[in-house]
Amino acid sequence: MPVERTFIKRGLKRVELETFLVRELGQAGYGGVDVKRVPTGTRVALYVDRPGMVIGRKGRSIKLLTEELEKKFGLENPQIEVIEIPRSELSGPIMAKRIAFALERGLSARRIGHIMTRRIMEAGARGVEVTISGRIAGERSRSERFYKGYISKAGEPAEKLVSRGYAEAKLKPGIAGVKVDIMPPDAPLPDEIKVKETKPVEAVVTVDATNEDSKEAEKQTQEGERKSGDTEG
């Protein structure tokens, strides 16, 4: 199989896995997944807002989820690790789903956009961009954009540092799409250089014992000769 098809196949599997987890773990506040091959099988790290809903009573839910990942996606011996997101306001996927849920409840796009933007910035984010597109008011499609702070738009920082989330809101006029980009507060940007302050090295004065002893002996000799001269006189 050509290399290009191999990468395309892996990408499609990744999209299918993301779609499945969003559907199954949406109520638990699904925030992303990290899949890695380990010597004992496949490590699946799930980032969620409410871990208890993923684990279930006596671990039943996580057991069923493990079996489905192994059967549907061919993961070898999946080992699921549930990680709680400490601050859900800094997770793009979670905030996108909250905005979509608020839109479905009848809140206006402009109002919920301003509320969530302010809430994300109050949580400590460096920047946030919320975009709501679709039939959010009437039959004609339009887009509302809410922006505060700083967000990387291109390059490696934009790919690895920005938390991105997408969600859909099913409204009466039609489907509305929600996109949320969040720059976390601890994101190490390449143009930020921190200079470490170093303490000055204290000078160490060394004493030459041999030189001091010779000076003392010479002093004693001179005093002895002076006393001897005084006696003879």
Q: What is the pLDDT along the chain (233 residues), one digit of tens a residue?
A: 577 788 788 788 888 888 888 888 888 888 888 888 888 889 999 988 888 888 888 888 999 999 988 888 888 888 999 988 888 899 998 999 999 999 999 899 999 999 999 999 999 999 999 999 998 877 788 899 999 998 888 888 888 889 999 888 888 888 899 999 999 888 777 767 777 777 776 655 555 555 555 556 566 666 665 655 555 54
The CATH 3.30.300.20 portion of the chain extends over 3-85
Give the CATH fold of the 3-85 domain: GMP Synthetase; Chain A, domain 3 (3.30.300)
Backbone angles phi, psi at 84, to 5 degrees: -80, 135
The CATH 3.30.1140.32 portion of the chain extends over 89-183
Task: State the CB neighbour count (10 A cutoff) for residue 205.
Answer: 5
Among residues 119, 188, 102, the alpha carbon closest in space to that of 152 is found at 188
| Class at the top of the CATH hierarchy for domain 89-183 | alpha beta
